[in-house]
Amino acid sequence: MAYEPDMAIVFNSVAKAVIVSFRGVTIYMPGPYADRKAAVLTAEEHCRRLGWRD
């Protein structure tokens, strides 16, 4: 699936958290998430709620 320009999802494996940058807004989602896959799925769902269509 393609991300929009400037859309970024970064998983912090130490904190088990994810940082999402979408349409000029960056948020921190503290989790904890079991792994990168779980964090990315949650972050992508957040972006979908804001209008991203993959």
In a domain, 16, yes or no: yes
What DSSP element (H or E) covers 25?
Answer: strand 25-29
pLDDT attached to residue 21: 98
In a domain, 40, yes or no: yes
| First and final C-alpha spacing in the chain | 6
pLDDT attached to residue 54: 81
The total of structural domains in the chain comes to: 1
In a domain, 13, yes or no: yes
In a domain, 2, yes or no: no
* Total-model pTM: 0.90
Decide if pLDDT at 48 tops 80.
Answer: yes
pLDDT attached to residue 37: 98
pLDDT attached to residue 1: 61
What DSSP element (H or E) covers 14?
Answer: none
pLDDT in tens, 5-40: 999 999 999 999 999 999 999 999 999 999 999 999
Rounded to the nearest angstrom, the gap between the alpha carbon of residue 30 and the centroid of all alpha carbons in its chain is: 11
DSSP letters along 4-26, please? Answer: PTT-EEEEETTTTEEEEEETTEE
In a domain, 24, yes or no: yes
Structural domain of 20: 8-49
Q: Are 20 and 54 in contact, with CB atoms under 8 Å apart?
A: no
